[in-house]
Structure 1
Amino acid sequence: MKTTSSAIEPASPRIRRIAYVGAIALLPYAAMKQYWSLDGTWGIPATYPTLLEGMEARARGKDLGPINSAMLWLYEHGVDVTVVMAALGIFLLLGLVRPWGRIFPRWVPLLARKPVPRWLPLTPAWVTAAILAPVFGVLALTNVVLMVFGLSHPDTDGFSPFAFYIAYSGMGPYGLALGAAAWSYQRRTRRQAA
């Protein structure tokens, strides 16, 4: 029996808005890392190599496995691997609140129009939310409050503090939005699984 996405309760408008905000919050990180992968230097200490130079230096004289070879290939073509991961993270977040995240699209061989197994999006969503929400949500916010009162002076390792906060300030909202979307997806698909 084929299941249609309309047979499954949609995410509420509030959860969809939270997911969209979380996805948008991750864009500055992706943009900054993509800028750096294209040899942009703003915000990076003058003594730091470019991302490609650093990767090539670490790879020199080593037998690279398939993952490191793929990462080096991406850097050689001007793409930071964490930008790819951010894009996958946004795809995951939006898939938790959109109909295409519950039913495999037509173009997926052998799985077209079949329900997505609950564990497939929920496992990476809960793991990622459990890491990002506390570290970049709670701890980073606490650190900002302490900085405002002059009680903390974080070491940004020579990076421009402004670039550092642009790049990483979206991780907390993304993690919180991912947790909210995963909770909603789990609740909505539990009825379907039963």
Structure 2
Amino acid sequence: MALGIAAALPYIAVKTYWAAGGRAGLADGFDVAGEFTRNGAPDALVWLEQHGVDFTAVLALTGLALACALVRPWGRRLPRRPLLVLACTGTVLVPYGLLTALLALTGDGGSAGTPITGWIAPAGVGAFLGIGTALGVGAWSHLHPEHRRTTGARAAGPSPRG
């Protein structure tokens, strides 16, 4: 879990930095909120970006919170099925991260006029793989009784007391 969180933090930091007006890693003249508008993003997401909140950073934090809820005791109070559905859905980030890595390595991830610099790709790949893997591990621990941490269920077999 800690590795998934650590892998996602650079992505969250960069996206938050950009939403706050930072320019490092962006091509000259590139505007993230403007790109959202050109791509048809809802006005609410554009507004958030213009006011320092990147929705993908919020989603990344939400994914990490979900992964933590699957393996931490405080997650016991949350409904199990919706957590598992969301976690299993979130594991799609693993193949997305692998595809992103492949495209970055082969140079097919964009043209010479790409809006971001090459050092940003590892942050995205790390976040996608980290969050997706953390969600998968958390869901797996819920689906296998011998590894459940948040349900209080004991593994089948003899009691540790004898």
Instruction: Calculate the TM-score normalised by the size of structure 1.
Output: 0.64
- AA at the equivalent of 2:18: W
| RMSD (CA atoms) | 2.8
64, 80, 90: which one pairs with 1:118? 80
Whether 1:37 aligns to 2:11 is no
Aligned mates of 2:133, 2:36 — CA distance in 1: 31
Aligned mates of 1:36, 1:47 — CA distance in 2: 13
Aligned mates of 1:87, 1:36 — CA distance in 2: 16
Report the counterpart of residue 78 of structure 1 in structure 2: 52
**How many corresponding residue pairs?**
146
SS in 2 for 1:72: helix
Aligned mates of 1:81, 1:57 — CA distance in 2: 16
Whether 1:22 aligns to 2:4 is yes
- AA at the equivalent of 2:119: F
Report the counterpart of residue 173 of structure 1 in structure 2: 130
Report the counterpart of residue 132 of structure 1 in structure 2: 93
Q: CA deviation at 1:86?
A: 1.0
Report the counterpart of residue 62 of structure 2 in structure 1: 88
Q: Percent identity?
A: 32
Residues 2-44 of structure 1: per-residue CA shift (max 9 Å, x gap): xxxxxxxxxxxxxxxxx12112211111111111111222211
Report the counterpart of residue 64 of structure 1 in structure 2: none
168, 179, 182: which one pairs with 2:139? 182
SS in 2 for 1:178: helix
Q: CA deviation at 1:45?
A: 1.7
Per the alignment, do residues 24 and 53 of structure 1 end up closer, same or farther by CA in structure 2, a change over 3 Å counting? same
Alpha carbons 2:97, 2:124 under 8 Å: kept: no
Per the alignment, do residues 100 and 190 of structure 1 end up closer, same or farther by CA in structure 2, a change over 3 Å counting? closer
Alpha carbons 2:8, 2:123 under 8 Å: kept: no
Unpaired stretches in structure 1, ≥5 consecutive residues? 1-18, 60-66, 104-115
Alpha carbons 2:100, 2:109 under 8 Å: kept: no
- Whose Rg is larger? 1
Q: CA deviation at 1:153?
A: 2.6
Per the alignment, do residues 133 and 55 of structure 1 end up closer, same or farther by CA in structure 2, a change over 3 Å counting? closer
Residues 43-63 of structure 1: per-residue CA shift (max 9 Å, x gap): 1122422x233445667xxxx
Instruction: Calculate the TM-score normalised by the size of structure 2.
Output: 0.75
Unpaired stretches in structure 2, ≥5 consecutive residues? 155-162
Q: CA deviation at 1:191?
A: 4.9
